[in-house]
């Protein structure tokens, strides 16, 4: 008998092999019409350059859900319309370098040029300038340097920017005349002290600041309505500011002069032939200036302490 006995049983069949799953599931193809709609909204300037594109806002504006919008944003990121960073999407900032600093310098230069701050007086602190110019601290620093190069400002020993003397013969105190001209444009032809609601003006300011921080502009129709309301608020405030200014010397209430001149400078910012986000900038800085002007009008007067002689 052979020492080796052949195996006569049955061997188990090997388990069938399964295909190795892919590491990443293929993303669904984006809706081409939705891609075109979002691209048109971005390229039309309805978002502040560099701002974040949120799915919540896009769901409201397009009527589509987040699952349909994600591949759309990925497609736009692949074409360079938007930028994808850590799973979030931002609008590509295609503005020239230093654009924000030049814009802030233009506005602050207009405020100074129209007589908000007398020569050889200091400007507000950097924190206040960031608020009224709607710019971060580094942009404000760049804007001040630009104005210093233009000899609009100079820096004292403490690095505090001060207003330089204007060219000889340049007249700065024209803001009262402008307030009077604007007040007369009101449809009801108010004499003086036209009524205004400070709470409504503050609410409009807060709404404008929140929208700027979100980086989302209003549609043209809504933007036009907001600008019209600001014009009406300016006319009412102009009659009150002029009425108070003619009864006071400039040194008795300098905050009124500063707020009034800043409001007029913001009002002069262009609204035509500019991107929508530049109109949003104007709307926001003007809303802040209008609110400050309303507060200055309501502030206690020092005329009784310093009677005019």
- Which pLDDT belongs to residue 305? 42
- Which pLDDT belongs to residue 230? 94
pTM of the model as a whole: 0.80
Query: How many angstroms separate the CA atoms of 15 and 10, rounded?
Result: 15
Q: Could you tell me which residues come within 8 angstroms of residue 44 by beta carbon, excluding any fewer than 6 positions away?
A: 276
Mean pLDDT highest for which of 11-25, 175-189, 262-276? Answer: 262-276
Instruction: Give 48 or 131, the one with higher predicted confidence.
Output: 131
| For range 24-37, the mean pLDDT | 71
Token pair, residue 214, equals: 């979100």
Q: In which order are the strands placed within the sheet that holds 82-85? A: 52-53, 88-91, 82-85
| For range 104-109, the mean pLDDT | 96
In this predicted structure, which of 33-47, 119-133, 136-150, 216-230 has the lowest mean pLDDT?
A: 33-47
What value does the mean pLDDT of the chain take? 82
- Which pLDDT belongs to residue 21? 47
Kindly tell me if the per-residue pLDDT of 80 is higher than 50.
yes
Instruction: Give 109 or 177, the one with higher predicted confidence.
Output: 109
């Amino acid at each position: 008998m052979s020492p080796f006995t052949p195996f006569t049983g049955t061997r188990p069949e090997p388990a069938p092999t399964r295909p190795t799953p892919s590491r990443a599931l293929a993303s669904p193809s984006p809706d081409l019409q939705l891609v075109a709609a979002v691209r048109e909204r971005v390229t039309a300037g309805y978002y502040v350059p560099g701002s974040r594109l949120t799915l919540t806002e896009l769901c409201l504006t397009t009527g589509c859900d987040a699952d349909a919008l994600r591949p759309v944003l990925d497609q736009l990121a692949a074409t360079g319309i938007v930028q994808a960073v850590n799973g979030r999407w931002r609008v590509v900032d295609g503005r020239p370098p230093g654009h924000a600093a030049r814009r802030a310098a233009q506005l602050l230069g207009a405020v100074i040029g129209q007589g908000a701050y007398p020569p050889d007086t200091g400007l507000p602190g950097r924190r206040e300038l960031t608020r009224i110019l709607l710019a971060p601290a580094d942009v404000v620093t760049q804007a001040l340097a630009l104005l210093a190069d233009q000899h609009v400002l100079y820096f004292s020993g403490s690095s505090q920017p001060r207003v330089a003397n204007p060219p000889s013969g340049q007249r700065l105190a024209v803001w009262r005349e402008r307030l009077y001209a604007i007040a007369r444009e009101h449809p009801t032809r108010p004499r003086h002290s036209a009524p205004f609601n400070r709470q409504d003006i503050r609410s409009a300011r807060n709404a404008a600041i929140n929208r700027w921080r979100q980086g989302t502009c209003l549609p043209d129709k809504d933007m036009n309505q907001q600008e019209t309301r600001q014009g009406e608020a300016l006319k009412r405030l102009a009659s009150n500011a002029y009425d108070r200014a003619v009864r006071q010397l400039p040194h008795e209430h300098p905050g009124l002069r500063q707020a009034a001149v800043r409001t007029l400078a913001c009002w002069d910012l262009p609204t035509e032939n500019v991107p929508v986000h530049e109109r949003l900038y104007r709307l926001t800085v003007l809303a802040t200036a209008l609110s400050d002007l309303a507060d200055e009008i309501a502030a206690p007067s020092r005329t009784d302490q310093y009677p005019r002689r």
